[in-house]
Each structure stands twice: as C-alpha cells, then as structure tokens.
Amino acid sequence: MGNRLSVSGLRKLFGSVKAVDGISLTIEDGEFMVLVGSTGCGKSTFLRLIAGLEVPDAGHIYLDGERINDLPVGRRGVQLVFQDYALWPHMRVFDRKRWSNLGFGLRIRKWLPETIFDRVRDVMRRVGIGDELAERFPTQLSSGQKQKVAIGRAIAVPPRVFLLDEPMANIDPVAKRQVRAEIRRVHDELGASTLLVTHDLADAFHLADRIAVMSEGRILQVDTPRRIIEAPADPFVKDFFASFDFGRPWTGFSKSQSS
C-alpha cells in the first residue's frame, strides 16, 4: 500500500473568500513537502481539507488512488499535528493503566495493553521523549516537550500521511532545532508522506524535498528548494524568498534538494 497523496481541483469558500482556489497537487510516496505562503493564503485550510476537518466545495482528494473525500477523519490514514498541540490537559504523557496522551488513539482502537506499552515506548524513543516525562501532565512540560508529545501522539497509530500545521511556531530556537531534526528523522523512519505548513523559510529549506508556494488560495510553484531560488516561476515567489537570509549558518539543502 502506497502513501501517494494527490488533490485535484480542490476548492473551499468561506462566503466570498476563496480560501482554497482549485488546487491540484501531488505528494509522492515518502516525500517530505513543505507548504509556504503569506498569512491568510489558505495553507491551514488546505491541511484541514485533507485531514477531513473541512468539507471541500469542489475537487477530489486521493490517497494511493482511492478517493477519500467521504471517509471520516479516523479512517483516512491521515494525522494532523496542530500549532497549539491540542493535548489532553487532564491526561499524563503516558500511563500504562489509564488513558493518556500517547496511548489515547491506541486504546480507542482497543489495542492490547502490552501492545500499547511496546508501541508507546517505541514512539517515545523515536521523538526523543525521556522516561522522566511520561508521568507529567501537559502543564508540566516545556513548549518543545509538548510539541514532541503532539508528534508522538500523531504517529502512535502509524499514519500514511503526516500533516503538520506550523509545528514549531511556539518553541524557542534551541528546541526548534531539535524538534526539526526529530520531525525529519521520524518522517524518514515512518516512510509516510509528509506535508508541513510553515512561515519559517529556514524550516522549509532544512526539511523539504520539495516546496510548494501558495498565494491567495492557489499554488504558484512546486519545486526543489534550489530550483525555486534559481528559477522562481512567478514574481510573488521571487519576492517571497528574497527575504531569506542565505548568509546565516544553516546545514544546507536536504537529501533530495541537490537535483
């Protein structure tokens, strides 16, 4: 079973506002795509349409060739991580005997207790959550730790498509570097297709196999980071990336960006 996600003619209106204006886009099996654009251009709405949290006014969403428009959220094979973490405040990070943030999705699906324990331990290792954090409540965690728990909860039931909406917007620069590295590593280990929305161009250039640039509900260009810089397809794309400071230290293009 593949994880190729494609949308065709996807459209969403809020009154007279075209939040998503006829987008067609394909994320290949195992690809890490980053979606960038100005505030209010429709990026988050686009993610919510794919996840099933919004109903499109037109268009189709396909996962490995199967149209998923009418599938409920829990059956799409898609997991969305929100900017505000959306953790259960009254639940610990993980508790073997009670409902917890990391075990929630597995208990809902009636996994056996020992299987849940083994899976959550593996998830904690993958996203860098130490044993000392397991008994804490969300209010006892730093922003970076909350983000790791949110990511861990999303991958506990292995997703086919991993959607992240500004996952590092609220964390400090030191934690951001660590979370960024964990996100890319988890993506590579899972083999899921990933679509990340961000305002931070450094995040985009560190993580993306390809970048999609969005403006006023439309996709203007989809290409590798290097190609977008060298051959912007639209004046907006050129101006948008002109703000990125290439003089500051960073690790360069990700594994597939040199093509």
Read off the pLDDT of residues 163-203 as tens digits, 9 standing for 90 and up.
Answer: 999 888 777 777 778 778 888 888 888 888 999 999 888 88
Say if residue 252's pLDDT is above 60. Answer: no
Q: How confident is the model at residue 246 (pLDDT cuts 50, 70, 90)?
A: low
> 25 or 83, which is more confident?
25
Percent with pLDDT over 90 in the chain: 53
pLDDT score at 245: 60
Neighbours of 169 (CB within 10 A): 16
Average pLDDT over residues 44-58: 95
For the full predicted model, state whether its pTM sits above 0.75: yes
Whether residue 216 contacts residue 23, with contact meaning beta carbons closer than 8 Å, is answered with no
User: Where exactly are the structural domains of the chain?
Assistant: 5-242
Domain 5-242 belongs in CATH node 3.40.50.300: yes
What does the block give as tokens for 131? 């044993």
Whole-angstrom Cα distance, residue 142 to residue 242? Answer: 33
Residue pair 139/56 in contact by the 8 Å Cβ criterion = no
Which region holds residue 25: left if phi is over 0, alpha if psi is between -120 and 50, else beta?
beta
Cα separation, 115 vs 119, in Å, equals 6
Q: Pick from 39, 55, 60, 14: which is nearest to 198 by CA?
A: 39
- In this predicted structure, what is the pLDDT of residue 202? 87
Identity at 9, one-letter amino acid code: G
Contacts of 166 (CB under 8 A, 6+ apart): 44, 83, 197, 198, 199
Confidence label for 220 from pLDDT (cuts 50, 70 and 90): very high
Q: Are 147 and 133 in contact (CB under 8 A)?
A: no
pLDDT at 43 over 90: yes
pLDDT of 98 above 80: yes
In the predicted model, what is the mean pLDDT of residues 16-23?
95
- pLDDT, position 250: 43
> Strands 218-223 and 210-215: what pairing?
antiparallel
Interatomic CA distance for residues 163 and 43, integer angstroms: 11
